[in-house]
Structure 1
Amino acid sequence: MWFFFAVAAAICFGIRGILYQWTSQRPIDRNLLLLGVYISGTLIALISNVIVQQPWSNGAWYGVLIGLFSFIANASMYKGYAVGKASIIALFSGLPPLVVVIVAYILWGEVLSTWQLTAFFIVLLGLILIKYSQDLKLNQLRGIQWGILTMLFFGFSDVSVKQSTIAGAETLPALTMMYATGTVLFGVSWIVSYRKSHVKKSTVEENNQNVEELSKPRQQNNILPWTLKRTLGWGMIVGISNIAGMMFLLPAFRYGVTGIVSAISAMSVALVILYAHFYLKENLSKREITGLIVTVVGILVLRLTS
């Protein structure tokens, strides 16, 4: 059953990645958007737990650590989509299993079976093949630093999720703590950036610059302006895909092998790559197509041997 939870999480995170990429190209306040994502998650987790009444335990406090790592990873991924190629960031967002397997071995001595290890490397090989032929060139690595941070902290987040299940935390209490932590962090980030933008705006006005002319290019492709209310509301909609993925991910980690679950959930990269090809018109090379096929083969091997 954990296998299907992991696949469902991958689909939800793939949708999240697509929404992040689409939104990152709009004149929108990143911190306010992500604040909406985490407010949505907090409300959904709280309301859901009021209904199902999952018990709270000390393990739920790991949600604070998950929220911190998730805050850094989501901020890095969104920034990466804003300044770099979608496929580059998608590649790194698919590599946290490397981090997870190493840390899981160090912390809990988790060792993969021969078949699991084979499937794990098949999946990773596919993820690397997807964009290795074009994007891993020095003149195309814009935003790579954000991709690396995304990889590391999504990996740390997965490890923290596993640790919370080991400590006996139920899904909804841990998610409540996670999203509440993220809400506070993104709230503080938004307040800081909002004040800075107003100081900058005041300076522009004092220098008698044409504010309307400066803002005109940012609104050419948008019928409606991205007001604070609209940005926060859209963030809460995007947040549904985020918490849906986390609701599937926690039980997957509870019953599955840490590195394998992380590898399957990282398959969300495939959805983003397909979106980049069909919607953004980024061409897929033969090596990229081969990478997609290889990752599917790896998933099938995991399914048959799990």
Structure 2
Amino acid sequence: MWFILALFSSLTFGLAGFMMKISSHHKGSNNYLLLGLYVSGAMGFLWWMLHTGATLFTWPVVLFGLVIGIGSAAGNLLFMKALEVGPASLTAPLTNSNILLTVIMSILLYQETISWTEMIGVILLVAAISLLPIDPNENLRIRNISWYGLVLTATLLFFLRNGGLKITEELHLPGATILFVSYVVGIAWFGISILRDRPEPPRTRAIGWWWGLGAGVFSFAGLQIYSIALSKGPASIIAPIFATNSLVVALLSILIYRERLSWMQRLCLLLLFAGLILIRM
């Protein structure tokens, strides 16, 4: 059951990522996109909290929600800044390595055990995720030393989000309430950014806002399903499967925008399917 949930969480979260790509394709505002995402996502988690009765705002719940929210919002901000000063072909794979930190934590701290075939499957999934952003034609020279600090900090912040959800599941804290708090952090973060920055054109704001609202619905669904999957199965396998949502975005981009499938993307898909097969053997 947890394997199906992990796959579905990747697919659903990938749809959120694709909506963000659509907004970018139509020159939508990033600030309004992310504000819309966090608003509709927070409403989704609020509905789930009321539906399940998990509305207990204890200090541990609020604290973990703040940490996970800061990890998500600040991680995305530093990731975008790293892309401005360094090559995407190195930035994206290195920040994606936060998945390995979650796997290592789950094995060492929570004594999760996985078979050799599952381990090889996880390695293939991580390889697929890491190779996907690589552009063989991109200049990989690092000209700004700040790039190293930005990438390292962004990686650790993303680990606060992904690893934090594993820790809260082990502590039997309500995942929906924690994620609701984390999305409220995102609303405050990008709301302040909009008030602080120069006003953007109405059309740009509208594109970002409406696609963000749509993305937030799928973001809520993906993370909630991921949280449920973590409560039923090993994070050392579920986390890498969830992280393949970037491949979902790539496939939808190929189908909708007729983007050509490069040899690197073909290799990533081959690694993806091989990894999933080995995990289920």
Query: Residues 270 and 230 (structure 1 numbering): CA distance in 2 closer, same or farther, change over 3 Å?
Result: closer
Pairs within 5 Å for 1:282-293 = 282-293=259-270
The Cα of 1:158 is off from its aligned counterpart by: 0.8
What letter corresponds to residue 190 of structure 1 in structure 2?
I
Q: Deviations over 1:176-219 (max 9, x none)?
A: 212112212222222222xxx15xx9xxxxxxxxxxxxx8xxxx
Matched, 1:2 2:2: yes
* Structure 1: distance between partners of 2:137 and 2:103: 25
| Structure-2 change in CA distance of 1:298 and 1:186 (3 Å) | same
In structure 2, runs of 5+ residues without a counterpart are: none
1:148–1:27 distance in 2 versus 1, CA, 3 Å? farther
Distance in 1 between the 2:166 and 2:98 partners?
Answer: 14
Which structure is larger by alpha-carbon Rg, 1 or 2? Answer: 1
RMSD between aligned residues: 3.5
Single out whichever of 18-27 and 130-139 deviates more from structure 2. Answer: 130-139
Matched, 1:56 2:56: yes
> What is the CA–CA distance in structure 2 between the aligned matches of 1:43 and 1:115, rounded to whole Å?
40
The alpha carbon displacement at 1:263 in A equals: 0.3
Q: Which moved more, 1:21-30 or 1:240-249?
A: 21-30
1:112 to partner: Cα distance: 3.6
Following superposition, the deviation at residue 86 of structure 1 comes to: 8.4
Check 1:120–1:293 CA distance in 2 against 1; reply closer, same or farther (3 A cut). Answer: same
| 8 A Cα contact 2:165 2:175, kept in partner | no
What does residue 252 of structure 1 align with? 229
The alignment status of 1:11 with 2:15, answered yes or no, reads no
How many residue pairs match? The answer is 276
Which stretch of the first structure deviates more once superposed, 29-38 or 127-136?
Answer: 127-136
Percentage of pairs with the same residue: 23
Quote the offset at 1:13 in angstroms. Answer: 1.8
User: In 2 relative to 1, CA 269–154 (structure 1 residues): closer, same or farther, beyond 3 Å?
Assistant: same
2:203 aligned with 1:225: yes
Q: What's the counterpart of residue 47 of structure 2?
A: 47
Counterparts in 2 of 1:120 and 1:188: CA distance versus 1, 3 Å = same
Superposed CA offset, 1:56-99 (max 9, x none): 26442212211111112344566788999988776567543223
Aligned mate of 2:159, from 155, 158, 178: 155
TM-aligned CA deviation for residue 28 of structure 1: 3.2
Cα distance in 2 between the residues matched to 1:91 and 1:282: 21
Q: Contact conserved, 1:6 with 1:249, CA < 8 A, in 2?
A: yes
- Structure 1: distance between partners of 2:69 and 2:125: 27
1:138 is matched with 140
Q: Is the 8 A contact 1:88 1:147 kept in 2?
A: no
Which of 127, 130, 139 is 1:125 aligned to?
A: 127
TM-score, normalised with respect to structure 2: 0.81
1:118/1:295 CA distance change after superposition, 3 Å = same
